[in-house]
Amino acid sequence: MLETPAPPTVPTRAAEDTVPTDPHLHIGQQPSDPGADTKRLLTWAQDLRAEQHRVLGFPGALDFDFSELGPMLSVFANNVGDAGSLDASAVHAKAFEQAVIGFFAETAGAAPEDVYGYLTTGGSEGILYGLATARRHLPHARVYASDQAHYSVHKAAQLLGLEVTTVASREDGTMDPAALRMHTFVHRRIRPRLGRGPGAIVLATIGTTMRGAYDDVTALRRVASTAGAVYVHADAALGGLVAAHAPSRPAWSFEHGADSVSMSGHKIIGSPVPCGVVLVRRELVTEAAGAEYVKATDHTLGCSRSGLAAMLMWSALRRLGHDGMRQRIRAGLEMADYATRRLASVGADPSRPTDSLVVCFDRPDPWIVDRWHLACEGDTAHIVTVAHVGRQQIDDLCADLASGRRP
């Protein structure tokens, strides 16, 4: 019998890895000086802006500027329940949310009317929603996710009471279809009383965390049918918008066999608040909640959602359109090509899956990791060439790697 590997362990944090408590931020019994507090917040923002040109290792485009929309901070917009449902308060930005959902649906190969969707807090909520939908349709199935899948898959599965089988990945970082076929075949044999089989919930990763590789949804769906009925959720937090415009046309979306898709908004587009979108084939969304006092149908996980996030996403996407998004992705891919060449020139041994914004290389000295905010795992570090990452940052990183000396 094949053993199911345990979920990744969480490393023990040393004291220096924790956020120190700042006594100056303590909220006491008496009101504080609002002028001094505003100055403190603005200084914090200025310091963060000064540092962000060296944030190379974590996906989150930092080239945005929504300051002209500052008056939006003085209004309250709460999107309660479904984006297409009126609610009692009428204090919402659902029309903007629907437009954003429509854009992402078209990007993911679906007509907006054929999918249900809403704005999430990010990719992890999207995974949770996708797996919850899958469990309703395949209550006896287990989740199959690669060893490169995001750690939140295990958190979501634990909350939902789902078993996870970790499937080996190939050298390029994608889930191995042959390994998936073997796992699903064995698990069907274990539970023959379920007739056709218990089914399979496949978590395909579109842009793996460390490598940026794209799982093949079509191939995974086909081989998982060994277990019976199949539900595929595509975790496309980083890679969905890239895959949609990549020259190699990865098989990742609804048109390739996904049943649900989750994507991040802040990673590729850029936003001052984390956000994302989850989309599900409309016929798979069956359960709705609601209450008379809100007068809204509600298929979401959280009920209340940020209307501000919806308006910011809408503003950014209106400036881009599908053509502008395509240009943004192509520029990022060209920068990844440049980074690969430059890292090779300084002996950093870079590697990169086809059409990925993620470039891996040998893990450098700790001071370089800290200075450039690199993401690391074992002996490997990576950078992600989202829109704020340019040639100058790549050149400066490579100069540090070549010299080995602190500036």
* DSSP H or E stretch at residue 62: none
Query: Using the 8-state DSSP alphabet, how is residue 59 labeled?
Result: -
Average pLDDT of 228-232?
96
**pLDDT of amino acid 1:** 40
pLDDT one-digit tens code per residue, 129-159:
999 999 999 999 999 999 999 999 999 999 9
The region, left, alpha or beta by phi > 0 then psi within -120 to 50, assigned to residue 272 is alpha
pLDDT one-digit tens code per residue, 282-336:
999 987 777 777 888 999 999 899 999 999 999 999 999 999 999 999 999 999 9
Average pLDDT of 121-127?
96
Average pLDDT of 225-251?
96
pLDDT one-digit tens code per residue, 356-405:
999 999 999 999 999 999 999 999 999 999 999 999 999 999 999 999 77
The residues facing 88 across adjacent strands are none
From 317, 314, 265, select the one nearest 123 (Cα to Cα): 265
**pLDDT of amino acid 289:** 75
Query: Using the 8-state DSSP alphabet, how is residue 226 labeled?
Result: G
* Residue 262: pLDDT over 70: yes
**pLDDT of amino acid 295:** 83
User: pLDDT-based confidence at 193, cuts 50/70/90?
Assistant: low
Average pLDDT of 25-43?
95
Phi, psi of 120 (to 5 degrees): -105, 180
Rounded Cα distance between 331 and 236, Å, is 19
For residues 58 and 375, the answer to whether their CB atoms sit within 8 Å is yes
3-state DSSP assignment of residue 361: strand
What tokens were used for 114?
């054929």
* Residue 12: pLDDT over 70: no
* Residue 3: pLDDT over 50: no
**pLDDT of amino acid 237:** 97
Average pLDDT of 66-83?
95
Phi, psi of 235 (to 5 degrees): -80, 95
pLDDT one-digit tens code per residue, 237-246:
999 999 999 9
Q: The pTM is what?
A: 0.93
Mean pLDDT of the chain: 93
69-83, 188-202, 232-246, 252-266: least confidently modelled range: 188-202
pLDDT one-digit tens code per residue, 86-103:
988 889 999 999 999 999
From 230, 222, 254, select the one nearest 240 (Cα to Cα): 254
Average pLDDT of 339-343?
98
What tokens were used for 284?
């798979």
Average pLDDT of 46-69?
95
What tokens were used for 341?
């060449």
* Residue 60: pLDDT over 90: yes
Average pLDDT of 101-118?
98
**pLDDT of amino acid 2:** 45
* Residue 31: pLDDT over 80: yes
The region, left, alpha or beta by phi > 0 then psi within -120 to 50, assigned to residue 297 is beta
Rounded Cα distance between 365 and 387, Å, is 26
Query: Using the 8-state DSSP alphabet, how is residue 26 labeled?
Result: -
What tokens were used for 128?
């949770």
* Residue 235: pLDDT over 70: yes
* Residue 192: pLDDT over 60: no
* Residue 6: pLDDT over 70: no
Q: How far is CA 25 from CA 20, 42, 71, in A?
A: 11, 14, 26
Average pLDDT of 50-54?
95
